Amino acid sequence: MKTLSALFISPHLDDVAFSCGGTLIKLALNGWNIINLTCFTKSILNPQGFALACQLDKGLSANVDYMELRRAEDLEFTRRAKVSETVWINFAEAPNRGYESAKDLFDGVHEDDEIWRDLAIELMEIVEESEVDAIFAPQGIGNHVDHLQTIRAVLSCNFQQPIFWYKDAPYAIRKPEARHSDLLPQSLFE
């Protein structure tokens, strides 16, 4: 009998853990092969401007590799959660792609930000190689641009596997009335 396999797509290194970590763990404990994929994990040495401010706001000095710390946390989560495979795609987070303020992160995708196209290519390769049976992806609650770009990439792939759209934490917790991204077909929620 084939072991079932699920791909959990996380825009950032904590999104799956916070948003649907319980589901991931339940599937792993029930024998599923779990792939935890994070889209935006690139280390940026000597961050500048808003990217640096995001790091300093967390009490980290400018010379710390912030993403290295987050990847270590992700590895600890995936180890404890019995994840079969961890995949980090080496794309930069929005503050390192020209988004210059917290408001900018939630104000819609910049016209020149086409990162979703490259992300779609990566996702298609991984899904094809891994022969996953189910995909979990964010709903885009909160409208963070990295979450929106992840949705664009997933939708453009036209995967044949069922996609389970999880509610993005902490945004769904902070504003329970918040809606999913308008990028998703309304029919999913009727």
Q: What mean pLDDT do residues 164-172 have?
A: 95
| Beta-bridge mates of residue 36 | 8, 86
pLDDT tens-place string over residues 108-137: 999 999 999 999 999 999 999 999 999 999
Domains of the chain: 5-189 (3.40.50.10320)
Three-state SS at 171 = helix
Chain centre to alpha carbon of residue 50 = 20
Residue 142 backbone zone (phi > 0: left; psi -120 to 50: alpha; other: beta) = left
84 vs 3, 34, 116, 145, 180, CA distance in Å? 12, 5, 26, 28, 29
Residue 190 has pLDDT above 70, yes or no: no
| Residue 43 parent element (H or E) | none
Supply 20's token pair.
């649907």
pLDDT tens-place string over residues 53-63: 999 999 999 99
Three-state SS at 71 = helix
* Amino acid at the residue 55: Q
Supply 190's token pair.
């009727």
Q: What mean pLDDT do residues 99-104 have?
A: 97
Look up the pTM and report it. 0.96
Q: What is the pLDDT of residue 186?
A: 81
